[in-house]
Chain A
Amino acid sequence: EDKVVQSPLSLVVHEGDTVTLNCSYEVTNFRSLLWYKQEKKAPTFLFMLTSSGIEKKSGRLSSILDKKELFSILNITATQTGDSAIYLCAVLRTNAGKSTFGDGTTLTVKP
C-alpha cells in the first residue's frame, strides 16, 4: 500500500520567516511527486517533481526531490500572510492513473 507522510502537521510562523515542509513516501514504481496549496476551497497545483536533485522554483517557493531517500521538501522564503494554507503532497505510481495524498501541513503565517 502506498504511503505518504507529511511533517509537521501544523506550523505557525511570523511574516518574513522561512519554512521547510517535508514529505516522505513509500510507493512502488514511483512516477512523480506533486505539491498542492489549499486555501479555502480547491487545492491548486504548485510543483510536479520527477527527477532527483533538480530544484523547481516559483517566486518564493521552491521544491526538490530525493528519490534515494524517498522524500521531498517544499521551501517558502520571506513568508507572507497569503501563504497561510494547507500544503498537500501527493505521489503517483507509473500507469496507476491515481494519486495518494498525505494528510497535509497546515501553515499559519502571522503578521
Chain B
Amino acid sequence: NAGVTQTPKFRILKIGQSMTLQCAQDMNHNYMYWYRQDPGMGLKLIYYSVGAGITDKGEVPNGYNVSRSTTEDFPLRLELAAPSQTSVYFCASSFSPDHSPLHFGNGTRLTVT
C-alpha cells in the first residue's frame, strides 16, 4: 500500500539551480496535483493534471513546470530556483474529486538559499 510517494524528502538548493520533485502513485488515479504550503498558510495549487498528457495551471504556477507522460507519475520541475520557492511541496491524487478526497504524499521540504 504505497499510495502517493514523493522524493526527495528534503533538499537545499542554491539560487539559480534547478531540480525535479518526483511524485508517483499506485492507485490508478487519473487526477494528480502539486501544492505548496508556506508556514502558517494553507495549500496553494501549483499545477494539476486530469489524466496522462493533460496538465493545467493552478493558483501559483510561475517558476514551475510539470509533465504527465504516465498515469502513475507527475514530476514538478523548478527552473532557476528563487528564495520565494522555499516551501513544503505536497503531491496529491484522487480517483474522482467530485466523489472522493485527495490522497497526499508526505511532502518535500525545499530550502533555496
- What residues make up the interface of A, taking CB atoms closer than 8 Å to B? 4, 6, 9, 31-32, 34, 36, 41-45, 48, 88, 90, 92, 94-104, 106
Contact = CB atoms under 8 A, between A and B. Distances in A.
Nearest to B3: A42
Interface residues of B, number: 25
Contacts, number: 61
A99 B50 contact: no
Interface of B: 4, 31, 33, 35, 40-45, 48, 50, 58-59, 90, 97-98, 100-107
Contacts of B104: 42-44
B31 A99 contact: no
Contacts of A42: 4, 90, 104-107
Nearest to A105: B42
